[in-house]
């Protein structure tokens, strides 16, 4: 009978740890620190120079994504367009 109590306590502990981990990862995902459940965002280009060596065309893609992100940020903030951003 004592082993049943131990199994129940272990199961409850595992459930609590799982829920706490899920909540922590969801919070970190909202902060932008990790990609946990929000799949509509693409992870940033982390390889940098290595990607440019093996895929030279990726540089143009990265530049385009950065300019689109900058334009979206400006539209969100309401800042007027500057001549530098229109190039």
pLDDT tens-digit readout, 17-72: 999 999 999 998 888 788 787 666 555 556 666 666 666 666 666 677 778 878 87
* Alpha-carbon gap, residue 9 to 14, rounded angstroms: 9
Split into its structural domains, the chain has a count of: 2
CA pair distance 60, 23, nearest whole angstrom: 37
Task: Determine if residue 48 is left, alpha or beta; phi over 0 gives left, psi from -120 to 50 gives alpha, anything else beta.
Answer: left
Is 36 inside any structural domain?
yes
Q: How many angstroms from the chain centroid is the CA of residue 47? A: 16
**Residues 36 and 8 reside in one and the same domain:** yes
87 within a domain of the structure (yes/no): no
User: Do 66 and 52 contact (CB within 8 A), yes or no?
Assistant: no
- pTM attached to this predicted model: 0.44
- Do 29 and 1 share a structural domain? yes
Query: Is the predicted pLDDT of residue 85 greater than 80, yes or no?
Result: no
Asked if residue 86 has pLDDT above 60, the reply is: no
Q: What are phi and psi of 40, to 5 degrees?
A: -80, -10
With a cut of 90, say whether residue 84 has pLDDT above it. Answer: no
């Amino acid at each position: 009978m004592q082993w049943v109590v131990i199994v129940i306590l272990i199961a409850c502990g595992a459930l609590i740890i799982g829920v706490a981990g899920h909540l922590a990862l969801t919070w970190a995902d909202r902060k932008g620190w990790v990609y946990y459940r929000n799949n509509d965002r693409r992870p940033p280009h982390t390889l940098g120079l290595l990607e440019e060596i093996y895929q030279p065309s990726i540089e143009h893609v990265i530049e385009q994504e950065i300019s689109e992100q900058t334009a979206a940020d400006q539209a969100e903030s309401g800042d007027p367009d500057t001549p530098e951003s229109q190039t």
